[in-house]
Chains A and B, each alone.
Chain A
Amino acid sequence: MSAVIENHHDDHHHGPDKGLMRWVLTTNHKDIGTLYLWFSFMMFLVGGCMALVIRAELFQPGLQLVVPEFFNQMTTMHGLIMVFGAVMPAFVGLANWLVPMMIGAPDMALPRMNNYSFWILPFAFGMLLSTLFMEGGAPNFGWTFYAPLSTEYAPPSVTFFIFAVHLMGISSIMGSINVIVTILNLRAPGMRLMDMPLFVWTWLITAYLLIAVMPVLAGVVTMMLMDIHFGTAFFNAGGGGDPVLFQHVFWFFGHPEVYIMILPAFGIVSAIIPTFARKKLFGYDSMVYATASIAFLSFIVWAHHMFTVGMPIAGELYFMYATMLIAVPTGVKVFNWVATMWQGSMTFETPMLFAIAFVILFTIGGLSGLMLAIVPADFQYHDTYFVVAHFHYVLVPGSIFSIMAAAYYWLPKWTGNMYDETLGKTHFWLSFVGVNVTFFPQHFIGLAGMPRRYPDYALQFADWNMVSSVGAFLFGFSQLLFLFIVIKCIRGGKQATDEVWDGAEGLEWTVESPAPYHTFSTPPALPERSLA
Chain B
Amino acid sequence: MTIQTSKSKTTLKLFGVVLGMFVFGFALVPLYDIYCQVTGANGKTGGAYVASEAFEVDEERQVTVQFLTNNNANMPWEFRPTVRSMQVKPGQMYDTTFFASNIARTTMTAQAIPSVAPFHAAEYFHKTECFCFEQQQLASGEVIDMPLRFIIDPHLPASVKTLTLSYTLFDITDIAATGAAE
**Nearest chain A CB to B137 CB, angstrom units:** 14
* A216, B181: Cβ atoms closer than 8 Å: no
Cross-chain contact of A216 among B14, B24, B42, B178 (Cβ < 8 A): B24
Does B83 make an interface contact (CB < 8 A)?
Answer: no
CB proximity of B47 to chain A, nearest CB, Å: 11
Q: Which residues of A contact B10 (CB under 8 A)?
A: 180-181, 184-185
- Asked if A237 and B168 make an inter-chain contact with CB atoms under 8 angstroms apart, the answer reads yes
Q: A109-B7, A238-B170, A240-B181 are in contact. Are A249 and B28 (CB under 8 A)?
A: yes
What does the 1/0 interface line of A216-259 toward B look like (CB < 8 Å)? 11111001000000111110111110101100110010000000
Instruction: Determine if B113 is an interface residue (Cβ-Cβ < 8 Å).
Output: yes
B3 touches A238 (CB 8 A): no
Q: Is the interface of A mostly helix, strand, loop or mixed?
A: helix
- The reply to whether B6 and A185 contact each other, CB–CB distance below 8 Å, is yes
- Interface contact tally, CB-CB below 8 A: 110
- Give the contacts of A173-198 with B (CB-CB under 8 A): 173, 177, 180-181, 184-186
Query: Which residue of B21, B111, B120, B175 contacts A211 across the interface (Cβ within 8 Å)?
Result: B21
Contact: B25 with A219, CB < 8 Å? yes
A218 to B19, CA, bound (A): 11
Name the prevailing secondary structure of the B interface residues: helix
Instruction: Enumerate chain A residues within 8 angstroms of B175, measured Cβ to Cβ.
Output: 231, 233, 236, 238-239
Q: Answer yes or no: B86 CB below 8 A from chain A CBs.
A: no
Interface size of B by CB at 8 A reads 41
Task: Give the residues in chain B near A211, CB-CB below 8 Å.
Answer: 14, 17-18, 21
Name the B residues within 8 Å of A181 (CB-CB). 7, 10-11, 14
With a cutoff of 8 Å between Cβ atoms, the chain A residues found around residue B156 in the complex are: none
Decide: A216 and B21 in contact? CB cutoff 8 A.
yes
Name the interface residues of B8-44: CB closer than 8 Å to any CB of A: 10-11, 14-15, 17-22, 24-26, 28-29, 32-33, 36, 39, 41-43
Query: Quick check: A310 and B42 within 8 Å, CB to CB?
Result: yes
Residues of B within 8 A of A239 (CB): 111, 170, 172, 175, 180-181
Say yes or no: is B182 at the interface (Cβ < 8 Å to chain A).
yes
Contacts of A244 in B (CB 8 A): 42
Cβ of A288 < 8 Å from any Cβ of B?
no
Complex-state Cα separation, A152 to B174, whole angstroms: 13
- A238 touching B113 by the CB < 8 A rule? yes
B167 to chain A, nearest CB (A): 11
A312/B39 in contact, CB under 8 A: yes
Cβ–Cβ contact A312 & B119, under 8 A: yes
Q: With A and B bound together, what is the CA distance between A310 and B44 in angstroms?
A: 12
With A110-B7, A239-B181, A240-B181 given, is the CB distance from A216 to B25 under 8 Å? Answer: yes
A215 within 8 A of B: yes
Report which A residues bind B (CB closer than 8 A): 109-110, 152, 173, 177, 180-181, 184-186, 211-220, 223, 230-234, 236-240, 242, 244-245, 248-249, 252, 310-313, 315
Q: 3 tightest CB-CB pairs across the interface, nearest first?
A: A238-B170, A219-B25, A215-B22
- In the complex, given contacts A214-B18, A238-B172, A239-B111, what are 4 additional A-B residue pairs having Cβ atoms less than 8 angstroms apart? A216-B25, A233-B181, A310-B119, A312-B39
User: What are 28 A-B residue pairs whose CB atoms fall within 8 Å in the complex?
Assistant: A177-B11, A177-B14, A181-B10, A185-B6, A211-B14, A214-B18, A215-B18, A215-B22, A217-B25, A219-B22, A219-B25, A219-B26, A231-B178, A236-B175, A237-B113, A237-B168, A238-B171, A238-B172, A238-B175, A239-B180, A240-B111, A242-B32, A242-B42, A248-B28, A249-B29, A310-B43, A312-B41, A312-B119
Binding site for A on B (CB under 8 A): 3, 6-7, 10-11, 14-15, 17-22, 24-26, 28-29, 32-33, 36, 39, 41-43, 72-73, 111, 113, 119-120, 168, 170-172, 174-175, 178, 180-182
